[in-house]
Structure formats: structure tokens, C-alpha cells
Amino acid sequence: MTVTDPHAPALRLEGVRKVYPMADGEVVALERADLTVDRGEIVALVGPSGSGKTTLCSIAGGILRASGGTIVVGGDDISGYSPKQLTAFRRRAVGFVFQTVNLVPFLTARENLLVVDEIGARTGAPARARADQLLEELGLADRAKNLPSQLSGGQRQRVAIGRALMNDPTLVLFDEPTSALDSKLGRQVMELIRSEMTARGIAAIVVTHDERITAFADRTVHISDGVLDA
């Protein structure tokens, strides 16, 4: 796991804002958010569509630049990072699992994991060993050579989780990971997220509008109109 300061929280946001200038004023997408997520902690971020959930996670993951405030991941202050520095940061410190899964359709399950390390530090035999280990732990060893179209929704979500873990991240961000699954599969995926994050001591933020997901989190944070109620 990437560790700049092993004693620092996985994530610390202080006074983080995101403002979009408009012709007739500005739109505040995130208003002075303060949030600390400890290592190994799972936080459910709950709010309606347009509340600022994705904006907050995009800033925490270095995808989106904040208009103000401080963002520290694993003791690494990324607030003033250049685009090049943010790209390197994302590769080494953050995992993403998007709502639409976003697996490469013409790559097998194993290859979808390996593509992460083609642009990372681990290559060749170490990368293959890491991918095989994760597929085994996720119960997908017998599906390693299957394309995404040959996998069930739950299996595709597991591949996406494995891909997010390939770089041994400090923080994993999940965007509505159960929205495309029925309730049974949704519970299974959340149980998997819970067990995998806990076993590895990796922090996670799970974005959701489904209050049932909060049962799998250590803590629930609500957001509405860009205002965080931590």
C-alpha cells in the first residue's frame, strides 16, 4: 500500500469548495467540506442526485481540482498538485470503482486487472502474480480468461474491485457500486467490499443514495446541496 505517512488518516478534507463560474453568477457544487476518513474505515456518503457526492469523491481522488481548501491523502497534500502530479498520484494511491464498472470489453478479467499496472510501477511477472492473487481472493480464478460479456453483473463488479486494488491504494472510491444489481447481489457486493477493505486496512468512501448500504459502513455522512453533514 502507498504510505506517505503511516500515521496520517487516509483522507483529510479541510474547507474544500468547488465553484463553477456561470454567466449570471456561480454554482457552488461543494461548500467548505470538512471530512476525515481513517485508514481501514468505510464511509457511506449518502445524498440525492446532484447533492455533490461525485464532486467530493472526484476531488478526493485527484480527478477534479478544488476551488479552495486542503486535500490530504495518506499524509500527502495534493491541494496544489499540477495535472501531471495528480496523474501520478492517482496511479499510486487511489482506486476507483465506477457505477458503470467500465471494464474494457475486449479484455479478459485478468487483462482488465493487468492494464492498471501497464501504466504503474509493477510490471511483468509481479503484475501477473498480483492479478492472479486478487482473482483468487475474489472467487474469480476460474473466470480469469472470460470477457466481461461472459460474466454476470456481480462478477463484473468483482473484477472492477480487483482492478481498483491492483495498485495497493490508500483509498478506494466507490460510485453507486450496487445500483445496477438486484438486492441480493447488492448485499453480496457490499459484503465483499467490506471484507476486502477491512482485510487490507484500506479506507473506502461508498457513494450511494440507498440508505440500506449504510449497514455495511463504519460511518454514514450525508450531503445535500453541496453541504456536508459529517
* CATH code of 160's domain: 3.40.50.300
Question: Are the CB atoms for 179 and 12 separated by under 8 Å?
Answer: no
Question: Are the CB atoms for 43 and 213 separated by under 8 Å?
Answer: no
Per the prediction, the chain carries an average pLDDT of: 89
Q: In the prediction, which pLDDT does 186 show?
A: 83
Q: Give all strands (DSSP E) within 23-123, no chain letters.
A: 25-37, 42-46, 68-73, 76-77, 94-97
Other CB atoms closer than 10 Å to residue 12's CB: what's the count? 20
CA 104/CA 215 separation, integer angstroms: 31
The answer as to whether 155 is a domain residue is: yes
Question: Are the CB atoms for 76 and 89 separated by under 8 Å?
Answer: yes
Q: In what order do the strands lie in the sheet with 68-73?
A: 25-37, 11-22, 68-73, 76-77
Helix-strand-coil split of the chain, %, nearest 5: 35, 25, 35
As separate numbers, helices (DSSP H) first and strands (DSSP E) second, the chain gives 6, 10
- Dihedral of alpha carbons 96, 156, 186, 179, sign: positive
The answer as to whether 109 is a domain residue is: yes
Cα-atom radius of gyration of the chain, to the nearest Å?
17
The answer as to whether 29 is a domain residue is: no
Q: In the prediction, which pLDDT does 98 show?
A: 83
Number of domains in the chain: 1
CA 222/CA 228 separation, integer angstroms: 6
The answer as to whether 144 is a domain residue is: yes
Rounded to 5 degrees, φ, ψ at 79 are -55, -40
The answer as to whether 169 is a domain residue is: yes
* 3-state secondary structure at position 217: coil
The answer as to whether 26 is a domain residue is: no
The answer as to whether 13 is a domain residue is: no
The pTM score is 0.87
Q: In the prediction, which pLDDT does 154 show?
A: 85
| Residues of the chain scoring pLDDT < 70 | 1-6, 117-123, 230
Range of the domain at 115: 38-63+82-224
The set of cell numbers assigned to 93 is 494511491
The set of cell numbers assigned to 142 is 476460474
The answer as to whether 201 is a domain residue is: yes
